[in-house]
Structure 1
Amino acid sequence: MPAGRPAGLPEFPADGVVAVVSRRIRYNLGLFVLGYCRDFAMLIVLSPAKSLDYETPARIKTHTLPRFIDRSAALIERLRRLAPQDVGALMDISDKLAVLNVTRYADWSPTFTAANSKQAVLAFNGDVYDGLDAKLLSADELGFAQKHLRILSGLYGVLRPLDWMQPYRLEMGTRLDNAAGKDLYAFWGDDVTQLLNADMAELRQEGAPVLVNLASEEYFKVVRPKVLQARIVTPVFEDWKGGRYKIISFHAKRARGTMARYAVTHRVTEPEKLKRFAEDGYAFDQAASDATRWVFRRRLED
């Protein structure tokens, strides 16, 4: 035993000690901040979905309009310059999907109507939205979602759940060159972040702003932390597989939507209450978490 080490004290690699202590400090700091501020202006962000459902009629008429229509129109004009083979190569999609989306760009109009649009939260139809299951939300729950939930979008920037949306495909990571730069992150610049700031400013009377990140890395990259006037919390969902916990994309996507639904149906406005989330077998793991990265784990198999 090295000189000066008290008997019974376990030996750890130096970097291991630093990592553990650092994580615990960050975690406790987060608890201090959340404990000090009991009221929060909480906003949740989700990714959109590639799959869309415009065949099922919208069950509600209530709607709002996207707030970046002029910016979306500029992107559409850029996309209209592309032939189907260009779209296919740019987005790495089949010829059939490329033709479909070229048609969508041609049909897109800056005038949104019930004939060409549908509420975003009802139009998206992927793993996240299977978990959210918005079609079963009540009018009051949709109203809560409209206030506390946002969807990041390559074409529309930021969508509220009830914003009318015309069909499109344009993932945030697409390297579509434009007047602002080489990709959509350059195109949107600070705009998406500033609109999120404005939305949280409207909630400011409810308390300290907190952004709950339930979006993918690709989409959340459009949010600029140095510009964002809020603390960020990112829930992470891990499943046990192959002898360890890991993020499994399909399950993680669905879990993000399910947590968003949990927040809406339980009217959650305090981030700490999200730690009570226990849907589909997930549970909060404090030991694996820190102040900004909250880990939820599920073990369905040995």
Structure 2
Amino acid sequence: MNTIILIPPSEGKADGGNDDPLQSVSNITADLIEAIKEADPKKLYGLKEAALKKAIAVNKELLTSKTMPAIERYTGVVYDAIDYQTLKNKSDFNDKMLIVSGLFGLISPVDLIPNYRLKIDKLNAARLWMESNSEQLKDKFVIDLLPQAHRKAVKYDNGIGVEFVLKKAGKKIPAGHQGKHIKGRFVRWLIENNITDPKHFRDFTEEGYKWTGEIFLKEV
């Protein structure tokens, strides 16, 4: 059974691109692009002033702007920690990794995408993608590193959700922003060591996290 690793996109994205604009999009993406046009920008983006203007401008050019591989487009903490450019086995990464995008569904690191702005909890994106995404995950073993909002866009029969949790004064709390970095490091470790079985998760101990059999836990 093939292993797939699911990660979220990042809100931070590189501008521009050197590849041609999209030649075609799925029906779901097309419907979402139309919904974006009709939505109230302030409610859709939750941004103000310059950031709001940029989001509006970026989405107006979805079908005409230059594209680049998704792994280069996303620039957030998880992606910085993966450090794709220094991976020795990029082909293995490209084969196993899928990104759960609100606008494009499940995409591989090498899929060409434009800059865009759409959270998966807007415009019913998660619900719209659920059936299509889940179909692609059939007969796969899934290592799920998604936030809760993105998990609403997928369903799989075989897999494991991975959480990074801090234990402070006896109380467990989500790792939060720090958790994004360790997730990226974990993804890199999975690929570099060809890990596909959760029984080996105990061998990952970066930054003091230890696998309990259910979660990665760090005492602080």
Q: TM-score range by the shorter chain?
A: 0.7 to 0.9
The residue aligned with 2:216 is 296
The residue aligned with 1:179 is none
The residue aligned with 2:52 is 98
| C-alpha spacing 1:270/1:257, structure 2 compared with 1 (3 Å) | same
Cα offset, 1:263, TM superposition? 0.9
Cα offset, 1:134, TM superposition? 1.6
Cα offset, 1:130, TM superposition? 2.3
Q: TM (normalized to structure 2)? A: 0.88
Gap regions ≥5 residues in structure 1: 1-39, 177-182, 202-208, 287-293
- Show CA shifts across 1:129-154 (max 9, x none): 1221223223xx22111111110010
Does structure 2 retain, via aligned residues, the 8 Å contact 1:119–1:164?
A: yes
Looking at structure 2, the residues matched to 233 and 189 of structure 1 have their Cα atoms a distance apart, in angstroms, of 18
Looking at structure 2, the residues matched to 54 and 196 of structure 1 have their Cα atoms a distance apart, in angstroms, of 30
Which stretches of structure 1, 4 residues or more, deviate above 6 A after TM superposition? Answer: none
Cα offset, 1:90, TM superposition? 2.5
Aligned-partner residue type, residue 52 of structure 2:
A
Looking at structure 1, the residues matched to 27 and 97 of structure 2 have their Cα atoms a distance apart, in angstroms, of 22
Task: Say yes or no: does 1:193 pair with 2:154.
Answer: no
Looking at structure 1, the residues matched to 120 and 37 of structure 2 have their Cα atoms a distance apart, in angstroms, of 18
Task: Say yes or no: does 1:71 pair with 2:36.
Answer: no
Looking at structure 2, the residues matched to 260 and 296 of structure 1 have their Cα atoms a distance apart, in angstroms, of 13
The residue aligned with 2:104 is 156
| C-alpha spacing 1:166/1:78, structure 2 compared with 1 (3 Å) | same
Does structure 2 retain, via aligned residues, the 8 Å contact 1:282–1:296?
A: yes
Aligned-partner residue type, residue 15 of structure 2:
Y
Q: Cα RMSD over matched residues?
A: 2.4
Does structure 1 retain, via aligned residues, the 8 Å contact 2:28–2:128?
A: no
> Which residue of the other structure, out of 278, 282, 291, is the alignment partner of 2:209?
282
**Could you say what secondary structure the match of 2:127 adopts?**
helix
Looking at structure 1, the residues matched to 137 and 15 of structure 2 have their Cα atoms a distance apart, in angstroms, of 27
| C-alpha spacing 1:173/1:222, structure 2 compared with 1 (3 Å) | same
Cα offset, 1:81, TM superposition? 2.8
Looking at structure 2, the residues matched to 68 and 273 of structure 1 have their Cα atoms a distance apart, in angstroms, of 39
Cα offset, 1:194, TM superposition? 0.8
